[in-house]
Amino acid sequence: MTVVQNTGCQTTTCRQVVVGTSCDAATVKFEYVRDLNRPNKISFIAISNQSIVKQKWIIKRDSTVNGFPYTVVLTSNNPTFIFPFTGSYTVCLEATTLNGCVKQYCERIVIEKVVMAPGLVNPITVSPNPARSVARIQLKLENPTAVSVTVLDGAGSVKWIQLVNGVSGNNTIALPVEQLSQGQYLVKLVFANQIRWTRFQKM
């Protein structure tokens, strides 16, 4: 700002002006509530001193499942998630506020008991194993959902990809393995914001 006096003298003063809310002042956390009858079913609630316009939840089991990492990414607001395994999980909320601030808050959650829906089985099995021409994956789902199936060799190269429409209950997914070379293969299943792994051997 420049001030001109009657004598013709000028005085200039500069000040920094900050428009809007500083992201340093933004705080984000979450609270959660366990289902009384199903303690591995948890509802999350995002909390902030600013309006939240976008939420991203990352749920990662601190230890592996059958030697594979277990990570789930949710993009719905204030989701409810059913933890399929006992153990310790790190849950992180990445929230974007109305002012464009992005904040992350993480907390560890321990699941001591798993109560699944009737008839739902956690393990993903492949049969026959070893397989010669066709390997079949047995998968149970709580709700209808698309399932992405990827077969990878021991070096991590993708050998086969298919998208199937899963139904509630039992699902059998056939993998054509006749053209594959002998050896160990990994199967990556992506469904309902989950990533699950299993393996089989080609004879």
3-state secondary structure 15-69: CCCCCCCCHHHCCEEEEEEECCCCCCEEEEEEEECCCEEEEEEEEEECCCECCEC
Longest dimension (CA), the chain: 99
Q: Which position has the higher pLDDT, 156 or 147?
A: 147
Highest mean pLDDT among 17-31, 58-72, 161-175: 161-175
Residue 142, token pair as written in the block: 């709580």
Residues in a beta bridge with 193 = none
Cα atoms in the 13 Å half-sphere on the side-chain side of 12: 1
For residues 105 and 75, the model is more confident at 105
Q: 125-202: which CATH topology?
A: Immunoglobulin-like (2.60.40)
Q: Rg for the chain (alpha carbons), in Å?
A: 26
Residue tagged 């849950």 (tokens):
91
Structure tokens at 191: 């469904």
The topology (CATH level 3) of 23-111 is: Immunoglobulin-like (2.60.40)
Q: What's the confidence (pLDDT) of residue 137?
A: 93
Give the model confidence (pLDDT) of 80-108 as tens digits: 988 878 899 999 999 999 999 999 999 99
Query: How many C-beta neighbours within 10 Å does residue 192 have?
Result: 16
Look at residue 20 and tell me whether its pLDDT is greater than 80: no
Whether residue 134 is predicted with pLDDT greater than 50 in this model: the reply is yes
Of the listed ranges 11-15, 61-65, 194-198, the one predicted with least confidence: 11-15
Q: What is the pTM of this model?
A: 0.58
Q: Where are the domains of the chain?
A: 23-111, 125-202
